[in-house]
Structure formats: structure tokens, C-alpha cells
Amino acid sequence: PGRSEVEYQDKKSDAIDVAFPAADEAKLAAAFGLPELSKPAAIVIWTTTPWTIPANQALNVHPEFTYALVDTGERLLLLAEELVASCLERYELQGEVIATTKGEALDLIEFRHPFYDRLSPVYLADYVESEVGSTGIVHSAPAYGVDDFVTCRAHGMTFEEIKSPVQGNGVYVDDLPYFGGQMIWKANPQIVEKLREVGALLAHKVITHSYMHCWRHKTPVIYRATAQWFVGMDIKGSHGRTLRERALEGIEATHFTPAWGKARLHSMIANRPDWCISRQRNWGVPIPFFLHKATGELHPRTLELMEEAAKRVEVEGIDAWFRLDPAELLGDEAADYDKVTDTLDVWFDSGTTHRHVLRGSHPHGHEDGPRADLYLEGSDQHRGWFHSSLLTGSAIDGHPPYRQLLTHGFTVDSQGRKQSKSLGNVVAPQEVMDRLGADILRLWVSSTDYSGEMAVSDEILKRTADVYRRIRNTARFLLSNLSGFEPSRDQVAFDDMLALDQWWWIAPHSSRRGSRWPMRSTASSTSTSRCIPSAPASSVASTWT
């Protein structure tokens, strides 16, 4: 899933410390300024994902950290110096630091994989941390971590060299030694036991920590390096600017309500990576591409083929693409091409609604690309609809598809908790209207500051109903006093009124003028709060009765 489709929840995981034996002891000794090593040595990593150990291809140290070589009796252990004490306590070992060196001295020194016959070199990386509980060394599986992937690629590792034994269904490939055909989560205990068997396991503990979960299915997810389609954020187009630059310029030209939305969206665009727009799912809008089997290049008639695919989908539905025999469009060339079965990110779907909604309902006035007066949604859409619409509009038309963004908060209960069926705090609008009437709901909406979280509960609605009754009773009292009133005969000139009557004449007009601008803009809660105090029933009653 994309980043917008991931949420974090607590998960129990196996936390393990694993020793990787030194493959070049002479080079390791030299890095620590020693003539030779007196006994076998190993570098120690800590991880909460044992299932990635079969895919390990490198080890990462921080170039500026100080690392220690610790004599524990049977072997030497390489650890971050500041973590030696906590690590030895975790391993239930006694040890003595015999030498230290900076991380940069360890660059490219090779160690052996714990149970596979291959080497894992040390690569320098600034993202390595030295928090308590770790070792100051990171195990790198480039197929299953973004930082791992980037670092290994930067050191010349090709896509073909990256080991990716986990399939799309979370199961190891059948020919993986020891663990082939097993689900990764179920294989974790067996990997731990294998490490124990070969003498590489120094510590094992089950911990509870925050971990990635699918926002829809609430199940744990993993990173997995696969071929995907991206929208490049920093590739210059024919106009000489990148998509990131055009989007940031568009933000400056957009009016935000509340104003803080501008800084939030600006930060997201400025710091986001390239946009991955492809998904591997059985449903969704297809990406109608054909790739050459030998070169991986798109078919030279891709635009024409996309138009043909779109026509078929329009008539037969989305399944038309997945049922399509490539020979129907490519003829004899079909044998040389693979049909792409990926689907589009749903945020790409929503982000392009301006192309058909605006042009469909308002075909005129969008000569330079569709642009709505206002996009209105919740604050989560700075990373969703607002975000994807900005990117597609900037890429296609050179500007956002909107002139103004209005962000509202979410409805919460009186304690600020998100409404949830399990908590029993959901307030359904239809039930409110059935019980109290639509005007009560309208008054609550218009008098609530939507720029933040909007609290609603039975008690809050009861107070709103009381305000509504005061307004209604005030109006009824004033109207009853107008019975038989004839302006041409009974109206008193303003200058002849008592001072109190003059005030009651001025107050509603002043309130009306003060509320007119907010109502016409986006400050409806301000407007309502100005109107309600202007003529409370209690004041009217106490003045004239």
C-alpha cells in the first residue's frame, strides 16, 4: 500500500540480537589498529523482523559513531561503544573493550551470513541510531526496507542482485533453503531457532511496539521492493520546471481556510518522495500499458493503445482490460509484449475528478484547465484529495484545480473522542432531525467552529435546542407586540423613541451588518455567534415585562 494507506498499531514481535561472523579478520583487525585478532570476531545486529534475515545482504554502521571490539571470552563482538554495557547485560556476558574505532573505518569490511554461504559488507549510513536496546549496527535487507534499498543501490547493487525471497502473498519462495513455502510470520520462530542452532543468536525477547498496519484490513504489512509506476516529482518538463516546483507555486496562489492549511500542504509537497501510482490488486482502474519483454520499454503506440483500451472499458467495464487478449490490439507483436495488470492508486482516481466533474458540469470557463472556486474536505485530505488533486492539476494544466481550500475538523464527542460504534458515542444526523428537528442540527452546525474538532453529543444538542427556543420565543414575543401595528399610523420616529427603544432598534441592525460578511465568506460560526446574543429572550422579557 501507499503511505496514505498505512496506519500504526501495536504489534508483538520477536526482537533478536544476531552475530555475523567476520569474513576478513585481517582487515577488521587493521580497522581497529590491531596487528591481528586473537580469536573469532562477529558484528552484532538487533532487529524486530527475523523474517528479513534470509534476505540480508549488507550491514550498516554510522560513520561518526565510535565502535568497540569487545572480548567476551569465546569471541570478539563488534558493538557501538556507548551500548556495550547494555548489550552485554542483555546477552548475560562479561566482556572487556580491547579497541575502538570510528564507523567510517569499517566501510566495506565483509562478514558472513549466519546460515547462508554468502557475504554481507558494511555500508556507511547516517540513519543508523544508537538507542538503548539496539547495537548501533543495522542489518540491511534491500528488498524489504526503503533505507536499505537506497543504500545498497547507492553502492552499486543491481536490481537483479537484490534478493527478494518473499512473494506477494507473504510466503517465501519454495526454493528458499530451510524456510521455503512458509508464511513469513509463521517462519519467525523457526528462523530464531535456526540462529540459535548455528550459534548466532545472542538474545531473544518478545516486545510490543508500534508497527505498520493496513488501514482497511487492520493487518500487519511489510515493505517489499517491486517494480512500480511512479510520477516523478523532480524531473524537469518542457517548461523547465519540476512537478514539485509547479505544485509549490500553486500553493502560493491558493487561498486557505484556515490559514494553517497552507503550511501543512506546503511541507507535505516539499518533502514527499516520487508518487507511486500503481497497485497490485484485483480491482481498480487498470494501467493499460504493454511492456517489451526484452527491453522493458513501453509500446511505441502507447497513447493510441490507451485510447482503444478506454473505449473498451467504457463499453464493457473495467474487466475488459483484464480479459483482453493482447493480440486483439497488437496483432503479431503480442508475442513480444507483456500486458501490465497493475491498477491505479485510488488517490489518482480522486485526484483527477476535476477533469470530468468540472468539465462535465461546467464545460465553459476552463480553457486553461479546470479550476473550482472551492474544495472542501476534512483535515486528513491534505495528504489525500487536496494533495493528489494539486499534483494532477499542476502536472496537466500547470496550476491547482482549485482557487481556495477549506478544511474542517472532525466531529467528536463531548470528551474529544472520535465517534465510534464500539464506544457508543455516534450521533447520527437523521436521528437528531427525527428527535429534535432539522433546525436544531442547522443551528449547531452554523454556531460551531469547524476549523477544529467539532464536539457533538446529546447534551450539546440539548443546549443548542435551548438556544433555538430562546430565539424562537423572542421572535414570537416581538411579533405578538406588533399585532394591529400599522407603520404609516403607529410608527414612532427614531429621534422620538426612548433611549432603550433606540438601542433595541440599533442592536439587530448592527448584528445583521456584522454577520453578513462572514455568512457570505466562510466564517459562519462567527456570524451565528454575533446574531444569537443580539436579542436573547430573557433580556426582552426582563426589559418589557
* Residue recorded with cell 464493457: 316
From residue 533, alpha-carbon distances to 471, 538, 539 in Å are: 9, 11, 10
Q: Are 171 and 184 in contact (CB under 8 A)?
A: yes
Give yes or no: residues 429 and 500 share one domain: yes
Mean per-residue pLDDT for 366-379?
86
Report the alpha-carbon distance of residue 306 to residue 312 in Å, rounded.
10
Same domain, 333 and 447: no
How many domains does the chain fold into? 3
CATH number, residue 39? 3.90.740.10
Q: To the nearest 10°, the Cα dihedral for 507, 511, 512, 514?
A: 140
In the predicted model, what is the mean pLDDT of residues 58-72?
98
- At residue 168 the predicted structure's pLDDT band, cuts being 50, 70 and 90, is confident
Q: For the whole model, what pTM was predicted?
A: 0.71
Stretch 233-245: mean pLDDT:
93
Can you give the residue range of the structural domain that contains 506?
Answer: 412-544
| Buried-state track 58-70, b at ≥16 Cβ within 10 A, e below 16 | bbbbbeebebbbb
Q: Note the pLDDT of residue 400.
A: 96
Neighbouring CB atoms inside 10 A of 324's CB total 18
For residue 178, what pLDDT is reported?
98
Task: Specify whether 284 is located in the same domain as 391.
Answer: yes
Q: Is residue 446 part of a domain?
A: yes
Q: What is the largest CA-CA distance in the chain?
A: 116
- Pairing relationship of beta strands 255-257 and 404-408 according to DSSP bridges: parallel
- 280 with 196, same domain: the answer is no
Residue 349 lies in a domain: yes
Q: Within this chain, do residues 427 and 402 fall inside the same structural domain, yes or no?
A: no
Q: How far is CA 469 from CA 320, 457, 466, 526, 538, in A?
A: 59, 18, 5, 20, 11
* pLDDT score recorded for residue 446: 85
Best CA proximity match to 122, nearest among 151, 91, 85, 164: 151
Could you tell me if 399 and 456 lie in one domain?
no
Which residue, 406, 423, 445, sits at the end of a domain? 406
Residue 86: per-residue pLDDT? 97
Domain presence at residue 374? yes
Q: Where residue 531 falls among pLDDT bands split at 50, 70, 90?
A: low
Is residue 328 left, alpha or beta, with left meaning phi > 0 and alpha meaning psi from -120 to 50? alpha
> Residue 472: inside a domain, yes or no?
yes
The tens digit of pLDDT for each residue in 501-521 reads 888 788 777 766 655 545 455
Give me the pLDDT at residue 429, please: 86
Range of weakest confidence among 185-189, 206-210, 231-235, 523-527: 523-527
Write the pLDDT tens digit of every residue in 100-109: 999 999 999 9
Of 342, 371, 406, the one marking the end of a domain is 406
Confidence band of 355 (pLDDT split at 50, 70, 90) = confident
Task: Flag whether 2 is in a domain.
Answer: no
Q: 146 and 238 in one domain?
A: no
Distances (CA, A) of 250 to 99, 231, 235, 256, 267: 56, 18, 17, 12, 13
Give the model's confidence band at 415: pLDDT under 50 very low, under 70 low, under 90 confident, else very high.
confident
Q: What is the predicted pLDDT for the residue at 153?
A: 96
Q: Do 170 and 242 have their domain in common?
A: no
Tell me, yes or no, whether 131 and 257 share the same domain: no
- Alpha carbons within 13 A on the beta-carbon side of 87: 33
The verdict on residue 320 lying in a domain is yes
Cα separation, 359 vs 380, whole angstroms: 26
Q: Which range scores top for mean pLDDT: 313-317, 363-367, 489-493?
A: 313-317
Residue 529 has pLDDT above 70, yes or no: no
Asked which of 316-320, 415-419, 541-545 is least confident by mean pLDDT, the reply is 541-545
Report the chain's C-alpha Rg in angstroms. Answer: 33
> The domain spanning residue 482 has which CATH number?
1.10.730
Average pLDDT, the chain: 90
Of 20, 265, 263, 56, which is closest to residue 141 (Cα–Cα)?
Answer: 56
In a domain, 221, yes or no: no
Residue 50, preceding bond cis, omega within 30 degrees? no
* 26, part of any domain: yes
Does residue 244 contact residue 234 with C-beta atoms inside 8 Å? yes
CA distances 529 to 164, 430, 517, 534, Å, are 61, 25, 13, 9
Mean pLDDT throughout 178-199? 98
User: Does one domain contain both 180 and 236?
Assistant: no
Answer with the one of 406, 439, 462 that is the final residue of a domain: 406
466 and 390 part of one domain: no
Q: Tell me, what amino acid is at 6?
A: V
Mean pLDDT, residues 222-243 taken together: 92
